[in-house]
C-alpha cells in the first residue's frame, strides 16, 4: 500500500509543481503589465522585485487551488485511461485509499491558503501599493503617459509628450468643481516636474500658459489670460498618510478586520462589506478541497489520456468557481440578499457534488 501511495503522490506532486509554476507566472505577469511600464520609465528593478514578492502570496491563494484541480484531472485522468484505477480496485483498494495521500496534501495546502488569505497576503498587498507609489514618486515622469489623464483631487492633467527626466511637452491642466464641471483650463507649451521628497510635495511648473477661467456669473463667460509660469503643488505625502490611516478592509489582517467589524457594529452601521471580505477570504482558502472533491470523479469518468481534456475541465470549473464568488461579492450594495453567506454557495455546491459523484463511482 505504501508503494501505491508513493506512486500516486509522486505523480500528483509533479503535475502540481508544473501547474503552480505556469499558473503563478501567468497571473503574476498579468499584474505586472503597468509596473513594467513604470520600470521602462526609470523605476528601479529592486522596487519591481519588491512589488512582485508582495503580491505573490495573494496570487498563490488563487493558483494553488487551480493547480490542485489541474493535477488531479491530469493524474487521475491518465490513471483511469490506463485502467490503473480499475486494477487497483480489483485488488481490493478502495477509491478513498487511492486518493488518501492527495487528500492529506490538499488539506495542508488549504491550511497554507488560509494562512496567506487571513494573515500574510492582505498587508503585503497593501504594502505593494505603497512600494509602487513611493517608487513612482521618486521618478515622477513615470506617472505621465501621453494621452492618458492623471487625476489628483480636483485636478486632471494631460500631456502630449515627455522628455528627459522631468520635462513635459504640450500640457493641458483642468480644475474641476464639485459639480464635475471645468472651472479652469490651463494650456502650456512645456512643463517641468520637481519633487521635494522631504516634505513629500510634487510640483508641476507650467511655462507659457494660456489660462481660461470660468467666471461664476449668470452669463457663464470665460476670462482668458496669459502667464509665463504657473505652479501647481501636489501634497502626495498627505494622501499617503490618509491611505495608511483609513486602511481598506482588503489590506487588513484577520484580527484587524474582525476588530473593524465589532467597532462598526457598535456604531450601529452596516457591516455587510466587511463581512463579505471576511467570508470571501475563508471561502477562497477552502477552494483546494472543493476542487479536489469535484475534480477527482470528473477525471475518472472522462477516462481520457489527452492532457488538453483535463486542462479544459480545470479551466472551466475554476472559472465558474471564482466568478461565482466574485459575483456574490458584487452584491454588497444589496445587504438584504445576505451576499456574505451567498458566496459560500460555490464551495457547498462543488464539495457536495464532488462527494456525491465520488460515492457513486466507489459503489460501482
Q: Does 123 or 41 have the greater pLDDT score?
A: 123
The answer to whether 328 and 345 are in contact (CB under 8 A) is: yes
Least confident interval from 102-116, 302-316, 321-335: 302-316
Terminal alpha carbon distance of the chain:
21
As a whole number, mean pLDDT of residues 18-31 equals 85
Q: Domain 144-243 class?
A: mainly beta
Sequence ranges of the domains in the chain: 2-137+248-362, 144-243
Taking 60 as the threshold, does the pLDDT of residue 243 lie above it? no
Torsion of CA 261, 262, 264, 267, to 10 degrees: 170
- Quick: pLDDT tens for 42-55: 667 777 788 888 88
pLDDT of residue 302: 60
Q: Does 15 or 97 have the greater pLDDT score?
A: 15
- Quick: pLDDT tens for 90-143: 777 777 777 888 889 999 999 999 999 988 888 888 888 777 766 666 666 667
What the block records as the C-alpha cell of 278 is 471576511
Q: Considering the entire predicted model, what is its pTM?
A: 0.72
- Chain-wide mean pLDDT for the chain? 80
How many other CB atoms are found less than 10 A from the CB of residue 40?
Answer: 9
The answer to whether 62 and 285 are in contact (CB under 8 A) is: no
| Strand-pair partners of 224 | 212
Q: What whole-number distance in Å separates Cα of residue 282 and Cα of residue 364? A: 35
DSSP 335: G
Taking 60 as the threshold, does the pLDDT of residue 248 lie above it? yes
pLDDT of residue 245: 45
- Quick: pLDDT tens for 190-242: 888 887 767 777 788 888 888 888 765 555 567 778 888 888 887 765 555 55
Amino acid at each position: 500500500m505504501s508503494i501505491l501511495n508513493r506512486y500516486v503522490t509522486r505523480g500528483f506532486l509533479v503535475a502540481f509543481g508544473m501547474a503552480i509554476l505556469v499558473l503563478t507566472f501567468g497571473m503574476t505577469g498579468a499584474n505586472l503589465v503597468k509596473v513594467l511600464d513604470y520600470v521602462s520609465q526609470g523605476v528601479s528593478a529592486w522596487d519591481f522585485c519588491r512589488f512582485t514578492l508582495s503580491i505573490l502570496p495573494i496570487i498563490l491563494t488563487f493558483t494553488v487551488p487551480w493547480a490542485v484541480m489541474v493535477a488531479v484531472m491530469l493524474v487521475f485522468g491518465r490513471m483511469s485511461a490506463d485502467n490503473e484505477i480499475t486494477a487497483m480496485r480489483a485488488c481490493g483498494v478502495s477509491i478513498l485509499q487511492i486518493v488518501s495521500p492527495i487528500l492529506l496534501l490538499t488539506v495542508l495546502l488549504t491550511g497554507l491558503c488560509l494562512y496567506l488569505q487571513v494573515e500574510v497576503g492582505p498587508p503585503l498587498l497593501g504594502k505593494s501599493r505603497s512600494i509602487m507609489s513611493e517608487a513612482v514618486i521618486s521618478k515622477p515622469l513615470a506617472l505621465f503617459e501621453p494621452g492618458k489623464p492623471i487625476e489628483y483631487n480636483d485636478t486632471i492633467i494631460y500631456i502630449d509628450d515627455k522628455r528627459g527626466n522631468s520635462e513635459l511637452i504640450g500640457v493641458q491642466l483642468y480644475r474641476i468643481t464639485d459639480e464635475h464641471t471645468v472651472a479652469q483650463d490651463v494650456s502650456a507649451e512645456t512643463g517641468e516636474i520637481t519633487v521635494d521628497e522631504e516634505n513629500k510635495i510634487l510640483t508641476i511648473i507650467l511655462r507659457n500658459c494660456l489660462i481660461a477661467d470660468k467666471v461664476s456669473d449668470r452669463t457663464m463667460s470665460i476670462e482668458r489670460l496669459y502667464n509665463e509660469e504657473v505652479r501647481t503643488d501636489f501634497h502626495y505625502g498627505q494622501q499617503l498618510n490618509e491611505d495608511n490611516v483609513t486602511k481598506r478592509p482588503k489590506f487588513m489582517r484577520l484580527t484587524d478586520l474582525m476588530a473593524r467589524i465589532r467597532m462598526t457594529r457598535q456604531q450601529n452601521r452596516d457591516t455587510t462589506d466587511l463581512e463579505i471580505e471576511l467570508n470571501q477570504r475563508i471561502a477562497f482558502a477552502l477552494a483546494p478541497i472543493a476542487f479536489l472533491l469535484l475534480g477527482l470523479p470528473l477525471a475518472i469518468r472522462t477516462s481520457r489520456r489527452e492532457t488538453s481534456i483535463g486542462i479544459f475541465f480545470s479551466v472551466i470549473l475554476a472559472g465558474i468557481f471564482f466568478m461565482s464568488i466574485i459575483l456574490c461579492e458584487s452584491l454588497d450594495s444589496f445587504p438584504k440578499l445576505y451576499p456574505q453567506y451567498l458566496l459560500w454557495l460555490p464551495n457547498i455546491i462543488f464539495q457536495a457534488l464532488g462527494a456525491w459523484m465520488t460515492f457513486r463511482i466507489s459503489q460501482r
